[in-house]
Structure 1
Amino acid sequence: MDFETLITLTTGITVLTCGLAVAGLHAYAAGRAQRQALVDRLAATGQIAPVGRRRRFGDLDRRLRRTKLGRKLELRLLATGLDVTPGEFFVYMLTAVAGLWLVGQATLAPFFGPIAGMLGIWAAVQFLNWQRQKRIERFINQLPELARILANATQAGLALRTAIGMAAEELEAPAGEELAKVANQLALGASMDDALGELADRLPSRELVVLVTTLVLSNRAGGQVVSALRNLTETLEERKETRREIRTQLSQVSMTSYAVPALGIGSLFLMNGVKDGALDRMTGSPAGQVAVIVAFVLYAIGFVMIRRLSRIDV
């Protein structure tokens, strides 16, 4: 093989290698773009956690999602609108439980360590319930405007699917985010009944159930959807004002329900501060431990009863 042939062969191999490299980069970029589009679509429909930041504890999160508890936790987190995966929330909760366990054991007595840990789990569950309820309340307050937008869009001759997408763009969170999930599910081929039914399951409320039922029946059987939405808008406005008045009247009762157990926990710190080691001696006997457990149970019953009595369904 002479020198010129070697140069030609080398040049050909180099050109072929560069061509393959360019084709590989193009295929990689196209695949990455398709993957990102799929991830965005699945995140919008709530099938995976929303993207936007680097997720921690990925292995734990995948294993937790396979369990029944993990799936329930994932649905609860989706309803709260928090940008947290089930694995992250589980680790954060365990960290808080461990911290409260150590604080209760160090400041009060070793017996109060497990109790403080259980209070940490209860506090985490209550935090999720509070976030979920706050999101539901905000969504309910947006329902009159949502019904008005849907009525105007359908009166203009737009299909219900298009009207939902328009409402998702015009409304702020949480209504805009939830309707965007519904619109994406409809774009992926889900039926109107299933998409709206999942919305009602994520944010359960009587007002939303009435709106979903109206939309589903109108989409299934036809009829005067505009007049139904107009009447529903007026009804939702009245219910919104009624709920606001009831919530204002019962705000003091709600604060009392949290003040009762707080006074009980504060009395423990006061008792231990007045006489150092009093709780250690009290919980050193079985009778003292039983008395503490009974007291905590009574405080919990008082909290639940006050919350039940102050709950008025409108």
Structure 2
Amino acid sequence: MTPVLIITVISCLMFIMSLSLIYRALRDPATSRVLDRLGESQGPLTEKNLSMAWLDRAFLQAGLGRPSQRLGLWLAMWGAVTVLAGLLGGWAYFLIFLVLPPLLLRLYVSWRYQRRVRRMVEQLPQLLDHCVRSLKAGRTLADAVLHAIESSSDPLKSSISRVSRNVQLGVSLPDAVEDFAELYERDEFRMFALGLKVNHRYGGSASELLENLILLIRERDQGARKLRAMTGETRITAVVLAVLPLFVGGYFMLTNPSYLTKVWNDPSGQHMLLTALAMQIIGCLGLWRMVRSI
């Protein structure tokens, strides 16, 4: 086992070093100039090539930047740790390290995105109110929106600053806000983009439109808060029912670990534990869907 382990570790280190060399070669200025000339010879890029990868999109939504620059290195490290865990602990540890890190990463990114976008929606009425005051002071709609973006605070400022960058690159303000709304996938941002597009195409009072949008967003937020207060007992019950079997299993592992070991060593006990695990997963998914449907 020891020679195999040493060879595996050396192979993983050599693989990581090769990825590092490839990354440095791609970051070299001469290589970048060659790739730019090759890209010019290929003509304009298609919409599919310009589309954002799902991983970059998820990390941008969560405010974590683009992970694709070091993706190969992280994948190599994850693969090396997974192989070592399998060699040292068996197939059970191999499956745990194979499934658990991506699952935890997905849950963390989703939680961070939900928390961040909730805070952004709370800051949106302040930005719109700043736009209304700027419009009444004599500014144009585009100037009012861009000035409000500069005066806003994080996390909304760092996220919606892509609108300012797109406008500086020549994109129209409604299209830039629509791109921002499609990235973060919230109805409040889509309504903001739709209002700008309607005003840009058909005209009208922009200040009155933004004031009505502020009122609508605040009413939606008030209704959501009331709904969370009314369904708090149901959500707490779902969390308790989902976590209770895990606590019971942890209690057995701490007080009498030989009990679960004997059950796992028995074939019928393995079937029972695997069936319980499958039922726990199905129950958690069912409770999650029930809570999301409220």
Tell me which residue corresponds to 1:228: 209
Query: Aligned AA for 1:169?
Result: E
**C-alpha contact (below 8 Å) 1:254/1:307 kept by paired residues:** no
Alpha-carbon distance in 2 for matches of 1:256, 1:204: 29
**3-state SS of paired residue (1:74):** helix
Query: Aligned AA for 1:201?
Result: E
Instruction: Name stretches of at least 5 consecutive residues in structure 2 with no aligned partner.
Output: 1-19, 27-48
Q: Is the aligned partner of 1:149 residue 2:130?
A: yes
Query: Aligned AA for 2:63?
Result: G
In structure 1, which of residues 259, 270, 275 is the aligned counterpart of residue 251 of structure 2? 270
Q: Is the aligned partner of 1:205 residue 2:186?
A: yes
Q: Is the aligned partner of 1:136 residue 2:117?
A: yes
Tell me which residue corresponds to 2:95: 114
**C-alpha contact (below 8 Å) 2:132/2:207 kept by paired residues:** yes
Alpha-carbon distance in 2 for matches of 1:96, 1:238: 49
Provide, for residues 18-77 of structure 1, a one-character-per-residue CA deviation record: whole Å limited to 9, x for no partner. xxxxxxxxxxxxxxxxxxxxxxxxxxxxxxxxxxxxxxx7939x8xxxx9xx92111111
Q: Is the aligned partner of 1:123 residue 2:104?
A: yes
The 1:155/1:294 distance shift into structure 2, 3 A limit, reads farther
Provide, for residues 163-204 of structure 1, a one-character-per-residue CA deviation record: whole Å limited to 9, x for no partner. 221111111112212221101111111233432222112221
Max Rg structure: 1
Tell me which residue corresponds to 1:59: 23
Instruction: Name stretches of at least 5 consecutive residues in structure 1 with no aligned partner.
Output: 1-56
Give the superposition deviation at 1:140: 1.1
**3-state SS of paired residue (2:53):** helix
**C-alpha contact (below 8 Å) 2:188/2:217 kept by paired residues:** yes
In structure 2, which of residues 187, 206, 219 is the aligned counterpart of residue 238 of structure 1? 219
Q: Is the aligned partner of 1:159 residue 2:140?
A: yes
Tell me which residue corresponds to 2:161: 180
The 1:87/1:188 distance shift into structure 2, 3 A limit, reads closer
Alpha-carbon distance in 2 for matches of 1:288, 1:112: 19
Structure with the higher fraction of residues in helix conformation? 2
The 1:294/1:113 distance shift into structure 2, 3 A limit, reads farther
**C-alpha contact (below 8 Å) 1:76/1:128 kept by paired residues:** yes
Give the superposition deviation at 1:215: 1.2
In the alignment of these two chains, the number of paired residues is 251
**C-alpha contact (below 8 Å) 1:165/1:179 kept by paired residues:** no
Tell me which residue corresponds to 2:57: 75
Higher relative contact order (CA 8 A, sep 6+): 1
Identity within the alignment, %: 21
Which stretch of the first structure deviates more once superposed, 260-269 or 73-82? 260-269
Query: Aligned AA for 1:234?
Result: L
**C-alpha contact (below 8 Å) 1:97/1:120 kept by paired residues:** no
Provide, for residues 78-98 of structure 1, a one-character-per-residue CA deviation record: whole Å limited to 9, x for no partner. 111125634557839965995
Provide, for residues 205-263 of structure 1, a one-character-per-residue CA deviation record: whole Å limited to 9, x for no partner. 22222121111111122222221111111121222222223334444544544444433
RMSD across aligned positions (CA)? 3.9
Give the superposition deviation at 1:110: 6.4
The 1:119/1:249 distance shift into structure 2, 3 A limit, reads farther
Q: Is the aligned partner of 1:311 residue 2:275?
A: no
Alpha-carbon distance in 2 for matches of 1:116, 1:258: 25
**C-alpha contact (below 8 Å) 1:111/1:283 kept by paired residues:** no
The 1:259/1:87 distance shift into structure 2, 3 A limit, reads farther
Alignment of 1:279-290 (within 5 A): 279-284=260-265, 287-290=268-271
Provide, for residues 141-168 of structure 1, a one-character-per-residue CA deviation record: whole Å limited to 9, x for no partner. 1121122122222333323322221111
Alpha-carbon distance in 2 for matches of 1:81, 1:297: 34
Query: Aligned AA for 1:218?
Result: N
In structure 2, which of residues 195, 199, 215 is the aligned counterpart of residue 214 of structure 1? 195
Alpha-carbon distance in 1 for matches of 2:66, 2:168: 26
Alpha-carbon distance in 2 for matches of 1:158, 1:252: 49
Tell me which residue corresponds to 1:44: none
Tell me which residue corresponds to 2:170: 189
Alignment of 1:39-58 (within 5 A): none
**3-state SS of paired residue (1:157):** coil
**C-alpha contact (below 8 Å) 1:97/1:117 kept by paired residues:** no
Alpha-carbon distance in 1 for matches of 2:217, 2:168: 28
**C-alpha contact (below 8 Å) 1:96/1:120 kept by paired residues:** no
Tell me which residue corresponds to 2:34: none
The 1:194/1:133 distance shift into structure 2, 3 A limit, reads same
